[in-house]
Amino acid sequence: DLLRISSGLRALGEKTTTWTHLLHDGVTGAPVAAAEAIGIGFDLKARKAVVIDGDRRRVLEALLVPGLSL
- What is the model's pLDDT at position 70? 78
Which helix (DSSP H) or strand (DSSP E) does residue 5 occupy?
A: strand 3-12
End-to-end CA distance of the chain: 21
Distance CA 25, CA 53 (A): 38
- What is the model's pLDDT at position 1? 75
* pTM (predicted TM-score): 0.85
- What is the model's pLDDT at position 51? 98
Name the residue ranges covered by the structural domains of the chain.
3-63
- pLDDT truncated to tens, each residue of the chain (70 aa)? 799 999 999 999 999 999 999 999 999 999 999 999 999 999 999 999 999 999 999 999 999 999 998 7
